[in-house]
């Protein structure tokens, strides 16, 4: 068995069953080995940012790492933005980066570069395999590192000769590491703060936004009057009818500051203390109000749900969670705007949907419009690096083939990784992509004013406009094998969505909005 075969067998034995790949010559033995290990599903992505974003979506939804196969430093570089988002999401993910043969590196061939340095900022773990006999153990260590709570990117650098040399042998999975239990000495003082009568905010993130944690948090809120808030960009937020409803902290710091203003105690459960996304002249970056005491109940790698359950036992023994009743907006008629589009989506969102939300300025009305929809998962742009949504949807759909996936995409963001549509089509994934076509980088037009930049002429504004020439998303989708339609009214959007949800396979709807 060569190194590549031992590597893939080990990955599969460790629960890694999908590999989002954009290979090159140095990865040909890895590619060939896929035929020997049919349990590893190879998924071709036409750009590395799609491979890494899809691996992120897969990991978020399955809780197990997928592999992303990348070609040397440039391939890794193309995949970095979505590895950054995965790092922020704390997604378990194994990046396998092919490299030149060990003895070829000193020749400084054209693709030679410092892969280790590129990998480090996004990786919780980096290792270079040096011998075919070691690569399986390295792979098992990589999966363990990626899966160690709270989850992260493990990068395994794979020289070509390590892949092709005989003498590999599969390695067994490492024992799983569990989230750290939160000790009573941490929970007790938080319970005391909650009982103390001063206003408390419980700030939820990571595993704190999954059902068991949400139910415990809701019991605490019901019993003590504490307010619940979710981090602004969660990796995976379970919401909808039958779950506790938790609003997210706003993106804009003035609104976020208002949401937090009353709190005298800020209790962190799986989330870091909130900060504003950017600095603005004259505004503070930390959002915890002055004089507010910050309590770390559970770090992201801790047993967040367990800590909240213990806290609920102390503060809310006989209290039930408050669950969101079912309720959908009525179907609007007439003009299509981000607001009416949100109502249409809320009215029609299928049961058990996975929503990948990269809708930027078009997202404002979505939380309220979907709050009482059937239960669903909401996945967001954790690291702010746009170009994530269409790849994320591909990975989520492969992790959860029985569930409908909806990608809500701003037009500018969609273009970064538009080739993900080809993977949607090739794998026949049940993904409905809605493109909010406002033909601009609208958020930047807003930020231009907010940061106090003075843009007096057309040169600056034209850098934020996508209208010349207008993008034709239905043509782009059709060219990649995804059936597509365009909606200019609320009624058209509803009709197209109904059809897309009823038919299996991918669809794209271009929603023309102001």
Ligand X SMILES: Cc1ncc(C[n+]2csc(CCOP(=O)(O)OP(=O)(O)O)c2C)c(N)n1
Report the interface residues with ligand X, using CB under 6 A.
81, 360-362, 384-387, 410-413, 438, 440-444
Nearest approach in angstroms of CB 256 to ligand X is 18
Contact between 358 and Mg ion by CB under 5 A: the answer reads: no
Q: Which does 354 bind (CB under 5 to 8 A by kind): Mg ion, ligand X, none?
A: none
The H or E element that residue 380 is part of is strand 376-380
Q: Report in angstroms how near the CB of residue 124 gets to ligand X at its nearest.
A: 21
User: In this complex, which beta carbon is closest to Mg ion, that of residue 313 or of residue 472?
Assistant: 472
**Closest CB to ligand X among residues 378, 441:** 441
Contact range with Mg ion by CB under 5 A, out of 60-68, 134-142, 349-357, 434-442: 434-442
Min CB(377)–Mg ion separation in Å: 24
> Nearest distance from residue 414's CB to ligand X, in Å?
7
For residue 385, the partner it binds in Mg ion, ligand X, none, with Cβ less than 5 to 8 A by kind, is ligand X
Label residue 133 exposed, middle or buried (CB < 10 Å: 0-12, 13-18, 19+): middle
Q: H/E/C letters for each residue in 437-493?
A: ECCECHHHHHHHHHCCCCCCCHHHHHCCECCCCCCCHHHHHHHCCCCEEEECEHHHH
Element spanning 137, H or E: helix 132-147
User: What are residue 239's DSSP bridge partners?
Assistant: 376
> Cβ 440 to Mg ion, closest distance in Å?
5
What 3-state DSSP class applies to 378? strand
Q: Does 412 bind Mg ion (CB under 5 A)?
A: yes
Distance CA 182, CA 195 (A): 19
Residue 409 interacts with Mg ion (CB under 5 A): yes or no: no
Stretch that binds Mg ion, among 143-151, 214-222, 438-446, 450-458 (CB under 5 A): 438-446
Residues 6+ apart with CB under 8 A from 35: none
State which residue, 224 or 362, has the beta carbon closest to ligand X: 362
147, 438, 474, 485: residue in contact with Mg ion (rule CB under 5 A): 438
Q: Which among 355, 341, 504 has a CA at the least distance from the CA of 438? A: 341
- DSSP H helices in 333-388: 338-348, 366-370
Pick from 425, 403, 393, 430: nearest CA to 57: 393
Nearer to Mg ion, 303 or 409 (CB): 409
Min dist CB 512 to ligand X, Å, is 13
413 binds, among ligand X, Mg ion, none (CB under 5 to 8 A by kind): ligand X
Minimum Å gap between C-beta 411 and Mg ion is 4
Point out which residues bind Mg ion (CB under 5 A): 410-412, 438
């Amino acid at each position: 068995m060569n190194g590549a075969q031992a590597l893939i067998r080990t990955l599969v034995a460790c629960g890694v069953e999908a590999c989002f790949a954009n290979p090159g010559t140095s990865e040909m033995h890895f590619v060939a080995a896929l035929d020997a290990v049919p349990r590893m599903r190879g998924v071709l992505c036409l750009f590395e940012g799609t491979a890494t974003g899809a691996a992120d979506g897969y990991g978020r939804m399955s809780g197990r790492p997928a592999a992303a196969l990348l070609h040397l430093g440039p391939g890794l570089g193309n995949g970095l933005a979505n590895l950054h988002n995965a790092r922020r999401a704390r997604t378990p993910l194994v990046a396998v980066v092919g490299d030149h043969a060990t003895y070829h590196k000193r020749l400084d061939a054209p693709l030679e570069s410092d892969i280790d340095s590129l990998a480090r900022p996004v990786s919780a773990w980096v290792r270079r395999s040096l011998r075919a006999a070691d690569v399986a153990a390295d792979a098992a260590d990589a999966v363990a590192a990626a899966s160690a709570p709270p989850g992260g990117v493990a990068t395994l650098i794979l020289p070509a000769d390590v892949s092709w040399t005989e003498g590999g042998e599969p390695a067994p999975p490492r024992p799983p590491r569990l989230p750290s239990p939160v000790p009573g000495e941490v929970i007790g003082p938080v319970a005391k703060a909650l009982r103390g009568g001063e206003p408390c905010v419980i700030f939820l993130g990571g595993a704190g936004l999954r059902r068991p944690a949400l139910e415990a948090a809701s019991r605490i809120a019901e019993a003590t009057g504490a307010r619940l808030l979710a981090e602004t960009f969660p990796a995976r937020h379970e919401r909808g009818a039958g779950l506790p409803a938790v609003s997210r902290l706003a993106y804009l710091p003035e609104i976020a500051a208002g949401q937090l203003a009353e709190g005298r105690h800020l209790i962190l459960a799986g989330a870091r203390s909130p900060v504003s996304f950017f600095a603005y002249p004259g505004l503070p970056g930390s959002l915890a109000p002055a004089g507010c005491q910050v309590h770390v109940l559970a770090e992201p790698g801790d047993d967040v749900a367990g800590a909240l359950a213990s806290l609920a036992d102390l503060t809310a023994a006989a209290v039930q969670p408050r669950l969101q009743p079912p309720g959908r907006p009525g179907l609007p008629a007439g003009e299509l705007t981000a607001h009416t589009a949100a109502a249409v989506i809320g009215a029609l969102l299928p049961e058990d949907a996975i929503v990948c939300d990269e809708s930027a300025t078009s997202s404002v009305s979505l939380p309220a419009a979907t709050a009482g929809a059937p239960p669903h998962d909401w996945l967001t742009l954790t690291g702010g690096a746009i170009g994530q949504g269409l790849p994320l949807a591909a990975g989520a759909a492969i992790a959860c083939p029985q569930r409908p996936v909806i990608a809500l995409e701003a037009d500018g963001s969609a273009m970064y990784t538009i080739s993900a549509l080809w993977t949607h089509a090739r794998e026949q994934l049940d993904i409905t992509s809605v493109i909010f076509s406002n033909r601009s980088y609208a958020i930047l037009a807003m930020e231009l004013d907010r940061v106090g930049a003075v843009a007096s002429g057309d040169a600056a504004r034209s850098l934020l406009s996508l209208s010349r020439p207008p993008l034709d998303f239905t043509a782009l989708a059709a060219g990649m094998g995804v059936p597509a339609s365009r909606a200019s009214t609320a009624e058209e959007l509803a009709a197209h969505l109904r059809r897309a949800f009823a038919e299996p396979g991918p669809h794209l709807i271009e929603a023309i909005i102001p």
